[in-house]
Amino acid sequence: MKKLSTFVNNANISRFRFYIQLLSFIVLIYGGYAYISIGQNLPTFACPYNHATAGNCFLISLQHQLHNSWQNLLGFRGIALLSAIISFLLFFILLNKAWCGYICPLGTIQDWLTSLRKRLGIRFARYEESTFRKLKKVKYVVLVWLIVAPLFIANSVFGLPRLSHDFFPPFCTICPARPVLPLFTGDTSQYFIDFSSPITLTMTALGLVIVALFLVGSFVKKRFFCLFCPMSALHYLFSRLAILRLTKEGEKCTKCGNCFRVCDVNIVEIADDVTHRNIVQDDCMMCFKCVEACPEDGCLKVSVLGLPIFVSSEEGFFHRYGPLENKEIKDA
């Protein structure tokens, strides 16, 4: 048992993550060809605009469920909405935000762009902390938009005129996954600008601008889009219910900042917060690179139902970061 845990703690989780990401990318993007259907309410960007998708993103079903009159929502549609949320939660609590770090195909694409940039030797961008704090709020704004807009499309609120149906689905029209993911099954049909009304014109153009920014942004900035992702915001609301957890024992932390340095999403708290045990922040994607980079035994811990499965350790750190008998030392 001890041998096994040492083996896991010394393992290169990033490499493991790469393969898991690749696998889930293939399953989610091409699974439809093999008649795989995982569910309608997946807590990740499995985009149904991709015809071979193996499941549906919860956000699109949420938008559809909310696109209902008040009386419907209070009636049986409300029950359907509730059951959709419950099914989302059942999926979510298994993996917590690791859905982002390990499963999300859009996140995987961003990671691939990052390794492409690395290969080219172009340095990454980092936000200043104040900019970061401002930008990270955007995802909540998007979340509110995607919840409120369908209601406003289907209902007249306070006697205001209803929102045009051309906005629907309010998030998918601006989501980069809609044009990007179908590309992998050779479908370029989402790259159009719809001139049929000023709203569709604006929304489709905005959608394409966002795709372009997504491509450029995630090339220079690690996990660029995740900062704005409403799914991430939604995850965070329920993060405490999940069985997979990332905890930190503050007493053991020397604040060396290794975890912050390797963090793809700029979370300062992972290094500086020594009081809270549950260290998962709203931007966290649970890639566990921080656990890899932590040289303190048992300071950062990944656990399932309180059972530690991957724990930071000194031995593991040096295993991953410093191959000890290294030729390069002699070369240098």
Residues within window 102-131 making contact with other proteins, judged by CB under 8 A? 118, 121, 123-126, 128-130
Omega before residue 323 within 30° of 0, cis: no
| DSSP-derived secondary structure letter, 159 | T
- Indicate the helix (H) or strand (E) that contains 304: strand 300-304
- Indicate the helix (H) or strand (E) that contains 122: none
Of positions 6, 200, 202, 247, contacts other proteins by CB under 8 A: 200
Q: Which stretch binds other proteins (CB under 8 A): 20-28, 88-96, 268-276, 280-288?
A: 268-276
Q: Which amino acid is at 212?
A: A
161 binds other proteins (CB under 8 A): no
- HSE value, Cβ hemisphere, 13 Å, CA-based, for 190: 27
Closest CA to 62 of 137, 135, 142, 136: 142
Quote the least distance from Cβ 11 to other proteins, whole Å.
17
Closer residue to other proteins (CB): 5 or 273:
273
322 binds other proteins (CB under 8 A): yes
Report the DSSP beta bridge partners of residue 278: 247
255 binds other proteins (CB under 8 A): yes
Q: 49 and 181 in contact (C-beta within 8 Å)?
A: yes
Q: Which stretch binds other proteins (CB under 8 A): 1-9, 102-110, 170-178, 213-221?
A: 213-221
Instruction: State the number of binding residues for other proteins (CB under 8 A).
Output: 71
Q: Which stretch binds other proteins (CB under 8 A): 94-102, 144-152, 201-209, 224-232?
A: 201-209
Quote the least distance from Cβ 83 to other proteins, whole Å.
10
d(CA 289, CA 261) in angstroms, rounded, equals: 10
Quote the least distance from Cβ 231 to other proteins, whole Å.
19
Binding to other proteins in span 29-68, by CB under 8 A: 40, 51, 61, 64-65, 68
Closer residue to other proteins (CB): 9 or 204:
204
Per the structure block, which two tokens stand in for 230? Answer: 């409403």
Q: Which stretch binds other proteins (CB under 8 A): 150-158, 196-204, 233-241, 305-313?
A: 196-204
276 binds other proteins (CB under 8 A): no
194 binds other proteins (CB under 8 A): yes
Quote the least distance from Cβ 152 to other proteins, whole Å.
17
Closer residue to other proteins (CB): 40 or 155:
40
| DSSP-derived secondary structure letter, 278 | B
Quote the least distance from Cβ 233 to other proteins, whole Å.
23
Of positions 251, 305, 306, 307, contacts other proteins by CB under 8 A: 251
- For residue 27, the Cα-to-chain-centroid distance in whole angstroms is 17
Closer residue to other proteins (CB): 7 or 318:
318
Look up tokens 């009304």; give the residue: 197
d(CA 7, CA 319) in angstroms, rounded, equals: 11
Please give the radius of gyration of the chain, using alpha carbons only, rounded to the nearest integer: 21
Per the structure block, which two tokens stand in for 331? Answer: 């070369």
Q: 286 and 98 in contact (C-beta within 8 Å)?
A: yes
